[in-house]
Structure 1
Amino acid sequence: MPKRPDFVLFMTDQHRADFLGCAGHPVLKTPNIDAIAATGTVWDRFYVASPVCMPNRASFMTCRVPSSHGVRANGIPLDKRHVTFVELLRDAGYKTALIGKSHLQTFSGKPPMLEAPETRTGFHRASGKLSQAVRHDLETYLAEDPGRTSYDTPLPFYGFDHVELVTRHGDACGGNYRDWLLERAPDADRLLGAENQLPHDYVCPQAIRTALPEELYSTRYIAERASAWLAQNADDEQPFFLMVSFPDPHHPFNPPGRYWDMYDPADMPIPAVFEANDWNPPAHVASVLEDRETGRANPGSFAVLGTYAQEVREARALTCGMISMIDDAVGQVRAQAKAKDAVTIFTTDHGDHLGDHRMLFKGPAAYEELTRVPFIWSDPQADGHGRTAEIGQTHDIGTTVLERARVEPAIGMQGRSLLSGGREAAFIQYDHQKTNRGLGRVPRIHTLRTADWRLSMFEGIAWGELYHLRDDPGEFHNLWDSPLHARQRAELMEMLVRQELAHVDRVPLPTAQA
């Protein structure tokens, strides 16, 4: 059998598809990521399975949609009963390593927002394992918990034999990185957080000019440790899969050192929404904008936030700074990996509004800036490269890796190998713990994205969203109630139902005939 290829997969966090040099960004320079694109295939229509960290990362690992693997929203750890594509690689003889962010388990330490229903007067409610319809032990999944004093992660970790974790975001990252940081700077805590930041005049929420120097920042740690792992395994004939996972450019916006002012906010294009006088935001978006304008919003939280033009310029400039630091780290790791001639992959877990639709961060919608993400596949043994307009999704990545490694996927994996082409449409699921004031309920949104259309349906809501993206790329004009588009809406709803049917779980398989 020919030697199976090595793989190096780079993953960022909250990184829009259009924020790369090779994606045509007018200001941002990413020469090292562009070099991957120059020798590979760039997917211009690549979508998440869910526009949220934990659900989409679980879809990446399991090659399944959130309703199948159970991580429907942030705060639900990935149950280890679900087989990951990394486990299949390991079972086939691959050496596997994760350096950086995992976020397959909770790492905030905060209690859940979603509350159990109240027990009715005169009724008995079971406790413990009988309180929910499925028994679980997810409360014991604490490998990424911030309360841990040691990060000797039990192995294998979802299939990874070697793990060096980075948890959380900004300069508050924990995990193995925290131990590394304190070894080099025992008094590092005096450099961390907004209370210790360097002076600046930015007004953007969560713009924090960290006092932590570049050489101690998490991005530099990940590059150093990934390069070290590659060097240690340089002479090993065993094939490997290395995941290099950065917690940036997720907010807070705090690129360290020279990356802070590498880009001028004045050079950043302002989204079209700030000149769209005829935009009538849907209820779930309108409530977010109103909350910011009336002071209800908490600009310091991770929740989606209404925003203003100057904040957008600053957020975009600082995001570019964080991405440039990642690009330098990618270059460092690739220089070490060149001798191994590995298949190189670049992607992220979801996007960021960054001012589009007058919002920052992520949620509660299925706009392109959240659901469309970078995906670059570079294979030294493949013929041809360039760009493709075919549709792919996050849960296709693992099955594509397995196909290239000549490993059969587990029965019930829902991803497809992109080596054989793309999908007819993307099927995207979104759940959240927090009630959206505009909807009056916890949002659950299922979306179909075809080449030209986006249709979204909401649980418990009579209306939906329908956008013709060829004519309305900004997603400003909802055609849901348009009589002229009733037939198109019906056809897309039928396609969505077929996607729902196709993603109903088929495992476990029958054990016998009845």
Structure 2
Amino acid sequence: METGKVTGKKPNVILITSDHHRWDYMGCAGAVGVKTPNLDLLAARGTLITRTYCNAPLCVPSRIAITSGRYPMNTGCFTNRHPIHPHTPTFLHALRGNGYHTAMIGKLHHHVHVWDGDFIAHEADIHQLGFEHVHETSGKMGSGSIGCECQYTRFLREQGLLEAYRSWTGRFRQGNATMLPNEAWPWDQKYTQDAYIARKASEFLLQVSPDKPFYLHLGFVGPHDPYDAPQSYRNLYDNEKAGMPEEHIPAAPLTNVQRMEYNKLLAYKACITEVDSQIGRVLDTLKASGLQDDTVILYTSDHGDNAGDHGMWGKINLYEGSVHVPFIAAGPGIGQGVVSDAIVELIDIGQTVCNFTGCESHHYDQGKSMMPLLLGTTQQHRKDAFCEMGSDKMLYDGRYKLMYGDLTRDTRTELQAAPYHGPAFGRPVNLPPDRISLYDLLKDPYEQHNLADDPVYHEILAEMKEKLLIRLLCNMQAVPDDVGSVL
């Protein structure tokens, strides 16, 4: 293990985000049967933080928390229909004020994708957040929606593939989506959205001015469903039982439903490997351009994927597969070959970037810089991790995990039923009178045994409730006199 030293030169920073990548599906995280050679190499020359949590298990609220540095209860962004206000203060403004060129390429997902989805017409909104260079794409399903226009749909139109692509993705919207086959990408793999994003990122790195430091948010769309990795990646997982824990494999021949679930899981892993491959392409370009030694690289995902845990796919709930995400950091000053079990939240990214680049984020940023942790000057970061999905709340203190809310309910329907009129300062921060769950993740990492009703754990339950209440009170921000100043 090597800890680093910071040089006086302002480093470049690349924040790489994926979509739906659960924390334990990387080789460097100990996953069996998940092939991520490029992320493994990045972790080997950097620091892997094994207890990183998103602040909302859904795309838009999680991503807005990263950019704004504020919890969803304060931004009012709880679902994918609650967009960020373009005047929201972000750490990007501080970077620009410190002489940085700011860019975003790929999926940012700070506003509605399905309707009124003209990303190019709304590009000015992204500029107002602090990005100078913008090359935004929608996700897999968004790009296939009628009415969505983004850089990737323009590319597909130029290739004569847009209508065929929309027809193909439309099939995944019909009927029970959880039971649909996850088919391989049917065209040349150079046309996948993640391949396109990697190509544009590489072009940016080859053209960027060496006289000005840059910050790049590089957003890949995988491994979000549909799990449609090209066949070359699926071939790496050609055994329907590959990578399955032995206790999960039935001795008898698989039923049709079991086979479908196994194939779906392998298709998900193939999508992770595709993203890993595209990350490798970008990192190769970074090295070839001579920028690697001066660049801090951060990798994470907006949230995870249950991937069959608890009989569920996707996110929205507060189980580990949904809220526990990967985090890798590498670059000048960052410890090499370090595996840290410190508790980190994604909301900490903005303050961390500002700390490395020598500037200060805005006054309302609620994150905590990870720089001391990444430099090896401390081994601890947070006492606990907080996550929320509307009124459903979660707190993890390093051993015990408390969840308030009905974990089987999709809260998006209820949250989206209420009209949205901008930032919501009347926030649903009350503890809901729903199901309470308490898990000992040290003894029960797969969250199979709810201890909330066990008399032996009543004292611990009371302590966790108190910790959660304290976090809620600490997280809430007072409404300022000038509400518009912190939208």
2:105 partner SS? strand
Question: Which residue matches 1:237?
Answer: 211
> Is 1:337 matched with 2:289?
no
What is aligned with 2:409? none
Q: Give the aligned partner of residue 81 of structure 1.
A: 87
| Alignment of structure 1 residues 164-183 onto 2, 5 Å | 164-169=135-140, 172=144, 175-183=150-158
Deviation string 1:257-294 (CA, Å, 9 cap, x unpaired) is: 4223331232141597899xxxxxxxxxxxxxxxxxxx
Taking structure 1 as reference, are residues 196 and 494 closer, same or farther at Cα in structure 2, changes over 3 Å only? closer
> CA shift at 1:148, angstroms?
6.3
List alignment gaps of at least 5 residues for structure 2: 1-6, 172-177, 251-255, 373-379, 406-430
Alignment: residue pair count: 426
1:152, CA displacement in angstroms? 5.5
1:424–1:375: structure 2 CA closer, same or farther, 3 Å change rule? same
| Structure 2 residue matching 1:360: 3-state secondary structure | coil
Aligned AA for 1:166? T
**Other structure's SS at 2:89 match:** coil
Q: Secondary structure at the match of 1:475?
A: coil
Aligned counterparts of 2:261 and 2:31: Cα–Cα separation in 1:
16
Please, which of 127, 130, 154 is the counterpart of residue 159 of structure 1? 130
- Name the amino acid aligned to 1:213: D
Q: Give the AA of the match of 2:314.
A: F
Aligned to 1:122: none
Label 1:25 to 1:155 Cα distance change in 2 as closer, same or farther (>3 A). closer
**Superposition pairs of residues 46-57 of structure 1, within 5 angstroms:** 46-57=52-63
Q: 1:333 to 1:195 in 2, by over 3 A?
A: closer
SS state of the match for residue 494, structure 1?
helix
CA shift, 1:334, in A, is 0.9
The equivalences for 1:303-314 within 5 A come to 309-314=258-263
8 A contact 2:144–2:170 mirrored in 1: no
Pairs within 5 Å for 1:191-202: 193-194=167-168
Contact 1:63 1:84 in 2 (8 A): yes
Compare 152-161 and 491-500 and name the one that shifted more.
152-161
Report the Cα distance in structure 2 between the residues aligned to 1:218 and 1:98, rounded to whole angstroms. Answer: 15
The percentage of counterpart residues that share the same residue type is 30
Alignment-derived partner of residue 24 in structure 1: 30
Q: Report SS of the residue matched to 1:230.
A: helix
Match of 2:347 among 395, 408, 413: 395
Q: Residues 16-73 of structure 1: CA distance to partner in whole angstroms, max 9, x if unpaired? A: 1111111112112211111110111101100010111011000010111100122122
Give the structure 1 partner of residue 414 of structure 2.
none
Contact 1:204 1:310 in 2 (8 A): no
- Is 1:39 matched up with 2:45? yes
Structure 1 CA distance for aligned equivalents of residues 361 and 14 of structure 2: 19
What corresponds to 1:220 in structure 2?
Answer: 195
Q: Distance in 2 between matches of 1:259 and 1:169?
A: 17
Asked if the contact 2:47/2:339 (under 8 Å) is kept, the reply is yes
Counterpart pick for 1:411 among 346, 359, 363: 363
**Match in the other structure for 2:423:** none
For the residue of structure 2 that corresponds to 1:262, the secondary structure is helix
Check the 8 A contact 2:65/2:347 in 1, yes or no: yes
Where does residue 10 of structure 1 map in the other structure? 16
**Counterpart in the other structure of 2:419:** none
- AA aligned opposite 2:464: L
Note the C-alpha offset of 1:159.
Answer: 1.1
Task: Give the aligned partner of residue 399 of structure 2.
Answer: 452
Larger-Rg structure = 1
Provide, for residues 141-194 of structure 1, a one-character-per-residue CA deviation record: whole Å limited to 9, x for no partner: xxxx435675765562421111111113157385101112222x1244235544
Which deviates the most, 324-333 or 343-352? 324-333
Verify the 8 A CA contact 2:99 2:213 in the aligned structure 1.
Answer: yes
1:387 aligns to what SS in structure 2?
Answer: strand
1:329-376 CA distance string (max 9 Å, x none): 11111122121121011100001111110111123x211111100000
Aligned to 1:359: 312
SS of 2:78's partner is coil
Pairing partner for 1:368 from 317, 320, 338? 320
Cα distance in 1 between the residues matched to 2:338 and 2:56: 26
The one of 283, 301, 326 equivalent to 2:275 is 326
Q: Does the CA-based 8 Å contact 1:194-1:208 persist in structure 2?
A: no
TM-score for the superposition, normalised by structure 2:
0.82
Q: Partners in 1 of 2:310 and 2:155 — Cα distance? A: 40
Q: Supply the AA of the counterpart residue of 1:476.
A: Q
Unaligned runs of 5+ in 1: 110-144, 198-202, 276-306, 432-443
Q: Is 1:92 equivalent to 2:98 in the alignment?
A: yes
Cα distance in 2 for partners of 1:104, 1:65 equals 14
CA distance in 1, matches of 2:339, 2:386: 22
TM-superposed CA distance for 1:74, in Å, is 2.0
Answer 1 or 2: which has greater helix percent. 2
Cα 1:446–1:8 shift into 2, 3 Å: same
> What's the counterpart of residue 279 of structure 1?
none
- The 8 Å contact of residues 191 and 210 in structure 1, kept in 2 or not, is answered as no
Q: Cα 1:497–1:152, aligned 2, differ >3 Å: closer, same or farther?
A: closer
Contact 1:16 1:370 in 2 (8 A): yes
1:317–1:94 CA distance, 2 compared to 1 (3 A): same
